[in-house]
Amino acid sequence: MDEAFLSGLRDLLQEQCQVPPLPIEWACTSAMLAANGYSYGGDFFVADRVPTPEGGDGLAMVLVDVCGKGETALPHAVQFAGALRGLLVALSEDQVLPAANAFLLREPSDESIATAVQVGVDLRTGGYAIRSAGHPPVLHWQAAAGEWTVDNARGMALGVVDEPQFDVSRGVLEPGDGLLFYTDGVIERSDADIDAGIDWLLREARAAVDAAGGAVRDVPGRILEQVTRGDDDRALLVLARAPGE
């Protein structure tokens, strides 16, 4: 593909990967690394402020890993990101992933399969709901316990079957807590299974919190420093709630 065309697509995708302004006690940070030999990748996230199901102030966000890598995944990522932004604000949170799945089924190609993780957070109470579509499990930093725990939301990847099922995991982000989202390129290794990769990430995420003096918002960049550029795109994102007074 033409370099100028790809650069334009990359800029468009980056414009869509923006978190809206959040209340002062909330922070969202991310870090991304494209696959070896590429300047462009298919990992992205979309986010927007939306009402909660109870009518409060909420944040809706989806982190996506489009199958394929580098320049072949980029056009599909841009198209899918635009669709997801519309779905986030137009639909209730339980309808977003099913609608995203239907969108991909209408676009058959090798890059029309994706994994995704969706989170909806009540910015007043910290209550959250996580839905996963074939994505690696979210990690929850619990400040009071001083540890990361593995979330249990699971589900089928998008673009595979007509009516996939998505489990819902619910919890609360207390002051000082955070949620860590990431794509499989962060944890997958050719010589180890995914559980070993998650164990590695738990250790690195704990070390990153310690190195940052408890600042969960700094975790994505610190972890990515430990990840070598390989044959898959890598992305990490943290949503953190500031410690209480």
Here the CATH number for the domain that contains residue 8 is 3.60.40.10
- Give the pLDDT of residue 113: 87
- Give the pLDDT of residue 9: 53
CA distance 239 to 50: 16
Per-residue pLDDT reduced to its tens digit, 144-198: 999 999 999 999 999 999 999 999 999 999 999 999 999 888 888 777 788 899 9
pLDDT band at residue 43 using 50, 70 and 90 as cut-offs: confident
- Give the pLDDT of residue 224: 86
Mean pLDDT across the chain: 85
- Give the pLDDT of residue 191: 72
| Order of strands, sheet of 57-66, starting from the edge strand that comes earlier in the sequence | 43-51, 57-66, 114-122, 127-133, 168-172
Residue 125 near residue 171 (C-beta atoms within 8 A): no
Residue 84 has pLDDT above 80, yes or no: yes
CA distance 194 to 55: 38
33-54: average pLDDT: 73
Does an H or E element contain 4, and which?
A: helix 3-16
CA distance 58 to 61: 10
Place of tokens 């975790």: 219
Residue 88 near residue 46 (C-beta atoms within 8 A): yes
> Which residues 6+ apart lie within 8 Å of 76 measured at CB?
42, 66, 68, 107, 109, 111, 112
Residue 29 near residue 17 (C-beta atoms within 8 A): no
Query: How much of the chain exceeds pLDDT 70, in percent?
Result: 82
CA distance 12 to 161: 29
Q: How many residues does the chain have?
A: 245
Query: How many structural domains compose the chain?
Result: 1
Structural domain that includes position 28: 3-241
Residue 55 has pLDDT above 90, yes or no: no
Instruction: Name the DSSP letter for residue 84.
Output: H
pLDDT band at residue 38 using 50, 70 and 90 as cut-offs: very low
